[in-house]
Amino acid sequence: MEPSSPFRCVALIGRYQTAGLGATISAIVSLLCDHGVKVLLDADTAESVRDPRATSADMDQIGKSADLVVAIGGDGTMLGVARRLAAEGVPLVGINHGRLGFITDISLDAWRAALDAILEGKFAAEDRTFITAHAVRDGETVWSDLALNDVVVSRSSRSGLIELEVAVDGIFMYSQRADGLIVATPTGSTAYALSANGPILHPRLAGLVMVPVAPQSLSNRPIALPDDVEIRIRVVEGREPRVSCDMQVFSDLQVGDDIIVRRAPFTARFLHPLGYSYFATLRSKLYWHEFPILPTKNS
């Protein structure tokens, strides 16, 4: 069948452990086949779903072959997919089969109409900032990774406060004792950073936010920075320090290590249904439209 879509090859990546996901993926495969699109399934999902109309592929093959990737799961699934395919620049669509769904913005009951329209070329595109983190010890990089949400330098759960020294573009900013420090992108400003009282940054802002986690001094406040700066975080004191990217990949640190955070040279491209609104997402996920529930006389 001649493809009716500008996307000739679409990959599906699901949180294959989720109950009921197989039926959703099979239904999406049917829709893609109706459009004459070649369908790839990531190897783990293919092993779980076993749909003969789709071809199993590893992430390298997906990055090289797919014109579009559809992630079916929660925000964690979308974050992992975005990081794995970041350098390939493949557009991403997120269908929420999880809980909150900030970046998997297509609801499970609306995926058919939304994906049908996207396959016909009716969508809004949005680029999201990535940041990189490098752990440097004695002048050598000992670990590096990529984050779409945030880079977090923190203490372990079994130790006391961690002391950090922060410099921006080589200029000393401050020292602080806290549970940790978050450097978040605009995408990540509604994740861990928000729970630590950081500000919300609109995704189109060219900025980063740095948010201390439970600082010893209440004068240590969140701060927004341009996204073209280099942030150096040095571990001055603390037992069992560590660094994480998107709270999915971790590395242990040592006192004296520097964590260098920079904007990545590429972005994640998200595709949304026409009419998508970031503010509608905030209202829905943060319950801005809800009135407070007041106690009754009998409660």
Query: Which residues are designated catalytic?
Result: 75
> How many Å apart are CA 216 and CA 162, to the nearest integer?
10
Q: Kindly state the DSSP code that residue 18 receives in the 8-state scheme.
A: S
Q: Kindly state the DSSP code that residue 203 receives in the 8-state scheme.
A: T
> How many Å apart are CA 207 and CA 227, to the nearest integer?
4
- Chain center to CA of 150: 8
3-state secondary structure of 286: helix
> Do residues 261 and 151 make contact, with C-beta atoms less than 8 angstroms apart?
yes
Element (H, E) at 243: strand 242-245
Of 213, 202, 224, residue with least CA distance to 281: 202
